[in-house]
Structure 1
């Protein structure tokens, strides 16, 4: 494909756009160790109350809304999430910030009255407070998972291509994750264990899109050894752009249907995923080759 406008030469423009999108997530991440929390941490990370009841009927979206309103009416607290659970989806799982034993007892009485549950508590499967220390363990585990995944990808790309391309790919991955974190802050989406799944999914998706661009650059370098790297990279980005856009749109269509038709808990998962997919396409097209060119200039002089 013949270039329509120079991508590498406009790297500063694309970079500024990306910095603005990443800024919120980066600031929120840096602020966490200093006791400033801009995220809407769910019970998974912040601790809180977890209650589970067997309603003896399918817990669909309507029932979840009813239980949410009931819980809010009794406690004055908006639950973090109300989801179905169990093998037959007849259990309702309520998660919220920590509430005292009196309010929990009031919720149990109201649930028993509203849904004709067993008064002896046989239909109450769970009524616990989750310690914040458990949330801290999950935060460390999530951070460790992301770091290990990024390091392994850096090693893989360095072996397959070279260190500078590995650094470029990792920079794009961090860019995509920071944009996802920004979305969690902007829309105050509950940050729970679903974020770990979404983040790792985006890591794999984004790295694949970048490798497609890098593969084409390497192929073109073999037949254009005397041509400047920037020109080869520019042409390669345009040659792979159609494939990247088509793959992105196909994935977005599927995930978008889940977002439109899914229950609230699925929407909380798919919205950051949609943003991550778009961010991955943006970074692979507009940034990856530019980062590789930048790192080559600063860390090596020889061509591949």
Structure 2
């Protein structure tokens, strides 16, 4: 088997792992620095604010509505269709010393003046900052708990060295994605939290496929260094990794370019996460397990002693 692996065109990934580690440390360090200085641009889901639903008799022109609100000092308003092209939802950050009902009337009058159409107030709601803080805490706990559960799952299924590599690779992906969001000050709402959890699941799936092949080759190959077996395992799964990531990226790029402002942040998080996750499944998860000293003995199945074996061995 070792001869077969050597005959294949194996890519020596592990020889470049040192440079990959340096790149990863640099990216994670830069992301943490940016997060500590600029933090995140929280959306209304987390900061609280006012939600106003307006009904039109004809399909609404969202561009004209945004322009009219911007002229009146509501440039931070988020305007989007809600349910149909005739229903519009306007979301605003909290305004000091302005009641929600008064703010709703101001928005309604500005939209009427800006569009010249007959509109009616359908609904107005206020989300307090306390509720937003609870959502931010729940979102962070969801990501943290998912990483802990993944650590437990991979530890049971594989081995703790592989589990440590998998979890650190996932944390690596999430931190870098959040660092880019902080750098560009992209608004973070609940869809971004959903995208981050999706990235965690996607990256884990890719990592598990590589780990399965690593374990299989460790058990089959009698000779060979751990680095050589890991290189062969990654090479054997490389086509599957690239095809899966490539087809997924085609869809995500389409959402990023044509999906509109509503899901732009969601598509951006997926685009970053899938790209970084594909890299980390090779150069972070597997390489880190190698650095932790993974060997053939760690992945061999436990020997089960047959019943009565001690009697068979007696003279």
Q: What band does the TM-score fall into relative to the shorter chain? A: 0.7 to 0.9
Alignment partners' CA distance in 2, 1:285 and 1:65: 44
Contact 1:51 1:93 in 2 (8 A): yes
Contact 1:51 1:126 in 2 (8 A): yes
Contact 1:241 1:285 in 2 (8 A): no
- The 3-state SS of whatever aligns with 1:303 is helix
Contact 1:74 1:107 in 2 (8 A): no
Q: Using the TM superposition, give the Cα deviation of residue 282 of structure 1 relative to its aligned residue in structure 2, in angstroms.
A: 0.6
Alignment partners' CA distance in 1, 2:148 and 2:59: 44
Q: Using the TM superposition, give the Cα deviation of residue 41 of structure 1 relative to its aligned residue in structure 2, in angstroms.
A: 1.1
1:19 aligned onto 2:25: yes
1:223-262 aligned within 5 A: 223-262=220-259
Q: Let me know the Cα RMSD of the aligned residues.
A: 2.2
Counterpart position of 2:298: 303
Alignment partners' CA distance in 2, 1:283 and 1:10: 13
Contact 1:158 1:165 in 2 (8 A): yes
Are the structure 2 counterparts of residues 16 and 115 from structure 1 closer, same or farther at C-alpha, using a change threshold of 3 Å? farther
Q: Using the TM superposition, give the Cα deviation of residue 262 of structure 1 relative to its aligned residue in structure 2, in angstroms.
A: 1.4
Q: Using the TM superposition, give the Cα deviation of residue 89 of structure 1 relative to its aligned residue in structure 2, in angstroms.
A: 4.2
Greater mean deviation of Cα atoms: 97-106 or 157-166: 97-106
- The 3-state SS of whatever aligns with 1:51 is strand
Give CA-to-partner distance per residue, 1:99-130, whole Å, 9 cap, x none. 33455432221223435335xxxx32333432
Alignment partners' CA distance in 2, 1:216 and 1:115: 65
**Bigger radius of gyration, 1 or 2?**
2
Contact 1:55 1:91 in 2 (8 A): yes
Greater mean deviation of Cα atoms: 89-98 or 153-162: 89-98
Alignment partners' CA distance in 2, 1:95 and 1:23: 35
Counterpart position of 2:112: 112
Counterpart position of 1:77: 75
Q: Using the TM superposition, give the Cα deviation of residue 234 of structure 1 relative to its aligned residue in structure 2, in angstroms.
A: 1.4
Contact 1:51 1:94 in 2 (8 A): yes
Are the structure 2 counterparts of residues 219 and 68 from structure 1 closer, same or farther at C-alpha, using a change threshold of 3 Å? same
Q: Using the TM superposition, give the Cα deviation of residue 207 of structure 1 relative to its aligned residue in structure 2, in angstroms.
A: 0.2
Give CA-to-partner distance per residue, 1:171-205, whole Å, 9 cap, x none. 11001101110121122211000111101110110
Counterpart position of 2:56: 55
Give CA-to-partner distance per residue, 1:29-86, whole Å, 9 cap, x none. 5x3xxxx653211111122232221224445xxx22222212111125332x322112
Are the structure 2 counterparts of residues 225 and 140 from structure 1 closer, same or farther at C-alpha, using a change threshold of 3 Å? farther
Contact 1:55 1:115 in 2 (8 A): no
Gaps of 5+ in 2: 1-7, 300-315
Greater mean deviation of Cα atoms: 165-174 or 154-163: 154-163
Count residues with an aligned counterpart. Answer: 287
Q: Using the TM superposition, give the Cα deviation of residue 278 of structure 1 relative to its aligned residue in structure 2, in angstroms.
A: 0.4
Contact 1:194 1:269 in 2 (8 A): yes
Q: Using the TM superposition, give the Cα deviation of residue 301 of structure 1 relative to its aligned residue in structure 2, in angstroms.
A: 9.2
Counterpart position of 1:2: 9
After the TM superposition, list the runs of 4 or more consecutive aligned residues in structure 1 that deviate by more than 6 angstroms: none
Are the structure 2 counterparts of residues 25 and 223 from structure 1 closer, same or farther at C-alpha, using a change threshold of 3 Å? same
1:270 aligned onto 2:267: yes
- The 3-state SS of whatever aligns with 2:292 is helix
